[in-house]
Amino acid sequence: MAKEAAALTQRRLRAAVVTIVGQRGLASVTARSVAAEAGVNQALIFYHFGTLTDLVAAAYRESVDEALGRYREALASAHGLGEVLDAVEAELGTDRADGGAALMAQLLAAAGQDEALAQLARELLGEWRTVVGEAVERAMADSALEGLVSSESVVEATLSGMLGAVLVDGAEPGALSGSFATLRELDRTLARFSRLPSPVRRAVRSVVAPKFASGAPNHPSR
C-alpha cells in the first residue's frame, strides 16, 4: 500500500507539472503551484524527487516517452516521404490538442536561461532524433533523396522543421500546416525527378550530392 501511495503521489506531481506548463507556462512551475495543483504538501516534491528541477525533468521525460511511443507506432508502417509527413502531421495535431507540443516549446524557450533545462532539452532532442531518423532513413530508401543527400541532413531538417513550426504556430496559427505544404511540394518535386531519364538523374546527382555532403550537420551519433 505504501508503495502504491508513493507511486500515485509521484504521478500526481508529474501530471501537475504538465498541466501548469500547458496552461500557464514553465515559468509558473514552482513548488507551491505544483503542490496546489496536485493537492499535496509541497514537501512531498522534495521527498520523492529531491529537487523541483528533477520533478520537472521526470514529468518531461514521461510526457516525451509517451509521445515518442505514439510517433514510433504511427511511423512504423510509413514508406516514402509523403506517408511520413502524413503520420507526423497527424501526431503533431494530437500533441497540439493535448498540450504536448506546448510542453516541448516551453522547454526549448527556457533552455537558453537554465543549463539544467538545456541539458534536459538536449537529451530529449536526442530521443526525437532517433525516432525521426528511423522513419526518414526508411523513407529515403524509397525516394530520389537516397544517395543524393545524407540521411543526417534530412533528419536535422525534418526535426528542426517540426519543432520550429510548433514554436511559430503558437503565435501564427497555420504555420504548421504551411510547413507541411512546403514539404509535400518537395516530395512531389522529388517524384518528378525520379521519373527523369537515368543519365539526367546521374548528372544531377554528380553535381548536387557533393555539395550536400560538404554541408552535412555534425551531431552526436544517434
In a domain, residue 2? The reply is no
Asked whether residue 62 is domain-assigned, the answer is yes
Domain with residue 159: its CATH number is: 1.10.357.10
Q: How confident is the prediction along the chain (222 residues), in pLDDT tens digits per residue?
A: 788 889 999 999 999 999 998 888 888 999 999 999 999 999 999 999 999 999 999 999 998 888 888 888 888 888 777 788 888 878 877 776 666 666 777 888 888 888 888 998 898 888 888 888 888 777 777 666 666 667 777 778 777 777 776 667 666 666 667 777 777 787 787 778 777 788 877 777 677 666 555 555 555 544
In a domain, 213, yes or no: no
Do 155 and 130 form a contact (C-beta atoms < 8 A)?
Answer: no
In a domain, 24, yes or no: no
Residue 161 lies in a domain: yes
Rounded distance, CA 198 to CA 201, Å? 5
24-33 CB contacts, 8 Å cutoff, 24+ apart? 25/106, 26/56, 26/106, 26/107, 26/109, 26/110, 26/117, 27/110, 29/56
Is 4 inside a domain boundary?
Answer: no
Domain hosting 186: range is 57-196
Cα angle, residue 142 at apex, residues 140 and 147 outer, rounded to 5°: 50
Q: In angstroms, rounded to a whole number, what is the distance separating the alpha carbons of residues 99 and 93?
A: 10
Q: How many domains does the chain have?
A: 1
Collapsing DSSP to helix, strand or coil, 60 comes out as: helix
Is residue 117 situated within a structural domain? yes
What is the C-alpha separation between 34 and 17, in angstroms, rounded?
6
142 within some domain: yes
Please give the model's pTM, rounded to 2 decimal places.
0.71
Q: Can you tell me the distance from the alpha carbon of 26 to that of 29, in angstroms, rounded to the nearest whole number?
A: 5
Q: How far apart are the C-alpha atoms of 84 and 49, rounded to whole Å?
A: 37
